Amino acid sequence: MTRERAHAWIVVVGAGPAGMAAARAALLAGCRVTLVDEAPRPGGQIYRQAPSALGQETSSNAREEVRKQQFLQDFSEILGRIEYRAETTAHSLFPGPELHVSDGKATEILHPDAVILATGLCEQAIPFPGWTLPGVLLAGGAQAMMKSNLVRPGDRAVVAGTGPLPLVAADQLAAAGAEVRAVALFHPLSRVAGDPLGCWAGRGLLAEGIRAYRRLRRVGTALLQGWMPFRAEGGEQVENVTLARHDGQGRPDKGRTRQFDLDLLVLSFGFTANSELARMAGVTSRFLGPRGGWPARGDEDGRTEAAGVYLAGDCAGLRGAYVAAAEGEIVGSVAAAAALGKPAAPCREARRRRAQHLRFQRALAPLFDLPPAVWDWAGEETTVCRCEGVTRARLREALEAGHRTLDGIKRNTRAGMGWCGGRGCLHAVAGLAQSAGGAADIEAMRARPLARPVPLGALAPKAGGRP
Ligand SMILES: Cc1cc2nc3c(=O)[nH]c(=O)nc-3n(C[C@H](O)[C@H](O)[C@H](O)COP(=O)(O)OP(=O)(O)OC[C@H]3O[C@@H](n4cnc5c(N)ncnc54)[C@H](O)[C@@H]3O)c2cc1C
């Protein structure tokens, strides 16, 4: 039987909805809590904040703004009682748990009783001719410019992608004053209607989506459903995009295309979980495709195979901000109770909320499907790995030579070896490998230190730390 302890230390990585809720729950359960995040201010992807000197962003969605302010208010109430380290990157995690964090100047090695990973996910694009031109952004990048820097990333925009994010990003761009000329949704929105109970579970968010759709229609945005980006062109800057109707399987109908002049093309075709730290600590992952890439495996309380390592929120696979907040609360309580040797609080309300919003997320799932033909959008000379400049032709050679694992393809072509650690291309490399006859559950690339780039000087331990 576990003995009760008076003190325990929990480190949470990530100050988005999941990490903020986990930190709060662990504190209220009686633990010392450290929360680290590489961003300058708390909020994560959805509640991202501009530096206070810049003032407030213009939000197109009043309800989301209310949620954001409520969340940040709850967090500010615990801020004086936890150790919150902004602009601090967790770059390595080893069994123990032993967590290495860096403020950009030095690295500190932490040995808490438990680490809760709430690192969220990053977006993915599907390579096609022109996708690397300046002025082509992923939706998260465009949102970050608007939310963190209060900068409108372009004046004449087209947004293309899967899931609800293209609509959300287009609505935010329009609110920021951009002329949004078209939104090209890969799947018709009616796909969600196949699950009426799931839609009912998320009726509030669905209503927000419908309002965004109507706002865009009112300002004259072409709302195209079942369309794909075919080609972007420009010189020093993207100048136009050609969209094509597709056959439902991602094959373009070259007889039904539309061209738009623009200075901003925003893309969003699914997500990859930031699971490197968990995998580095020995946690296995599964391939989820566009709804999370290779999220690490955890149970419903966030426990993983690695002792003292827990997962909360989107880093375990895309489930949205509501699920992340509820799950943070559950995982924070469970991890704190285990560290203190006490029974965990039941968290009934948080579990009910999580179940309800998971139901809605399942209804949204068909909007994210990517058929294999999308990996044929890239021409032979299209760059797939932009850090290392690896083209589709180079990847095809490696695949034809029999390399079908991500590690094998990386060794052979350098795809995934660059600055971004493969976050920008490995989903596409996996898609190409699968299309070429690779395994359906293609394994993640081996996670090695460092999960995030840090300056060489910052790898020196802080005074008093281990050499
Ligand atoms: C690009 C993008 C755009 C989105 N836009 C919307 C939207 O408009 N509306 C909507 O409803 N949902 C949106 N979502 C989904 C929503 O943001 C998420 O469901 C929700 O934020 C998940 O919360 P989380 O706490 O799990 O992760 P996040 O909110 O993503 O927070 C993760 C945090 O971890 C930090 N972090 C990651 N790795 C490290 C590390 N190694 N060291 C230190 N810190 C680290 C990050 O800085 C971040 O603050 C978006 C998601 C993405 C990826």
Mutate to test the pocket of ligand 1, among 35, 36, 37, 45 (most ligand atoms within 8 A of CB): 45
Q: Which residues contact 79 (CB under 8 A, 6 or more apart)?
A: none
- Nearest Cα neighbor of 126 from 269, 279, 334 is 269
**If phi over 0 gives left and psi between -120 and 50 gives alpha, with beta otherwise, what is residue 455?**
beta
Tell me, what amino acid is at 104?
Answer: G
313 CA to centre of ligand 1 in angstroms? 9
3-class secondary structure, 256? strand
Q: Which two tokens stand for residue 301?
A: 């309380």
pLDDT at 63: 79
3-class secondary structure, 454? coil
pLDDT at 459: 86
pLDDT at 467: 40
46 CA to centre of ligand 1 in angstroms? 6
Q: Which two tokens stand for residue 244?
A: 């094509």
101 CA to centre of ligand 1 in angstroms? 19
400 CA to centre of ligand 1 in angstroms? 37
Q: Render pLDDT for 379-436 as a digit per residue (tens, 0 to 9).
A: 999 999 999 999 999 999 999 999 988 999 999 999 999 988 898 999 999 999 988 8
**If phi over 0 gives left and psi between -120 and 50 gives alpha, with beta otherwise, what is residue 292?**
left
Distance from C-alpha of 286 to C-alpha of 200, rounded to nearest angstrom: 29
Distance from C-alpha of 361 to C-alpha of 326, rounded to nearest angstrom: 14
pLDDT tens by residue, the chain, 467 residues:
567 887 999 999 999 999 999 999 999 999 999 999 999 999 998 887 877 666 665 566 777 788 888 889 999 999 999 999 999 999 999 999 999 999 999 999 999 999 999 999 999 999 999 999 999 999 999 998 998 888 999 999 999 999 999 999 999 999 999 999 999 999 999 999 999 999 999 999 999 999 999 999 999 999 999 999 999 999 999 999 999 999 999 999 999 999 999 999 999 999 999 999 999 999 999 899 888 899 999 999 999 999 999 999 999 999 999 999 999 999 999 999 999 999 999 999 999 999 999 999 999 999 999 999 999 999 999 999 999 999 999 999 999 999 988 999 999 999 999 988 898 999 999 999 988 876 767 888 888 899 988 988 898 766 655 54
What is each CA distance from 199 to 163, 189, 225, in whole angstroms? 14, 12, 19
Distance from C-alpha of 219 to C-alpha of 222, rounded to nearest angstrom: 9
Q: Which residues contact 205 (CB under 8 A, 6 or more apart)?
A: 322, 360
Global pTM value: 0.94
What is each CA distance from 422 to 39, 148, 293, in whole angstroms? 20, 24, 11
Peptide bond into 42 cis (omega under 30): no
pLDDT at 442: 85
165 CA to centre of ligand 1 in angstroms? 13
Distance from C-alpha of 49 to C-alpha of 44, rounded to nearest angstrom: 9
pLDDT at 58: 55
Distance from C-alpha of 452 to C-alpha of 14, rounded to nearest angstrom: 13
Mutate to test the pocket of ligand 1, among 34, 46, 91 (most ligand atoms within 8 A of CB): 46
Ligand 1: which atom is nearest the Cα of residue 45?
A: 29
Whether 134 contacts 236, CB under 8 Å:
yes
3-class secondary structure, 286? coil
58 CA to centre of ligand 1 in angstroms? 20
What is the Cα Rg of the chain in Å?
22
3-class secondary structure, 452? coil
**Which residue's alpha carbon is at the smallest distance from atom 15 of ligand 1?**
320
Q: Which two tokens stand for residue 115?
A: 């680490």
pLDDT at 37: 97
Handedness of CA 300, 302, 303, 305 (dihedral sign): positive
- Nearest Cα neighbor of 53 from 41, 71, 70, 65 is 41
395 CA to centre of ligand 1 in angstroms? 30
Whether 464 contacts 403, CB under 8 Å:
no
Q: Which residues contact 241 (CB under 8 A, 6 or more apart)?
A: 130, 158, 160, 229, 230, 231, 232, 233, 259, 260, 262, 265
Distance from C-alpha of 446 to C-alpha of 90, rounded to nearest angstrom: 18
Ligand 1: which atom is nearest the Cα of residue 36?
A: 43
Distance from C-alpha of 194 to C-alpha of 190, rounded to nearest angstrom: 8
44 CA to centre of ligand 1 in angstroms? 5
Q: Which two tokens stand for residue 308?
A: 């003292």
Ligand 1: which atom is nearest the Cα of residue 323?
A: 19
**Which residue's alpha carbon is at the smallest distance from atom 2 of ligand 1?**
140
Ligand 1: which atom is nearest the Cα of residue 17?
A: 25
Q: Render pLDDT for 27-83 as a digit per residue (tens, 0 to 9).
A: 999 999 999 999 999 999 888 787 766 666 556 677 778 888 888 999 999 999 999
Whether 234 contacts 130, CB under 8 Å:
yes
Whether 230 contacts 374, CB under 8 Å:
no
Q: Which residue ranges have their beta carbon within 6 Å of ligand 1?
A: 13-19, 36-39, 44-46, 89-90, 118-123, 139-140, 143, 165, 168, 271, 274, 313-314, 320-321, 324, 451-452
168 CA to centre of ligand 1 in angstroms? 15
3-class secondary structure, 83? strand
Distance from C-alpha of 409 to C-alpha of 431, rounded to nearest angstrom: 12
Whether 201 contacts 159, CB under 8 Å:
no
